[in-house]
Amino acid sequence: MKGQKKEIWMQLCERAASEQDPDKLMELVKEINQLLEEKERRLKNTSADPNRGAKNELEGPGGIEPPT
């Protein structure tokens, strides 16, 4: 999905670069902005939790190991 969104906003930028109608251009810019804001939110959420996806050092394959 990430690749699809990236491709969409890049295609919209290409269309916006050659758009002559001010109203159509504004609509393209709004859509590009929305897609980029979504991407920014995703990136902030990912970087806000640096341990996201990483296992706790105490966890084994089945979860937290009991104390020995």
- What are the extents of the domains in the chain? 2-46
Handedness of CA 31, 32, 34, 39 (dihedral sign): positive
Quote the pTM value.
Answer: 0.60
> How sure is the predictor about 50, in pLDDT bands with cuts at 50, 70 and 90?
low
pLDDT in tens, 7-36: 798 999 999 999 999 999 999 999 999 999
What pLDDT score was predicted for residue 41? 93
Handedness of CA 55, 61, 63, 64 (dihedral sign): negative
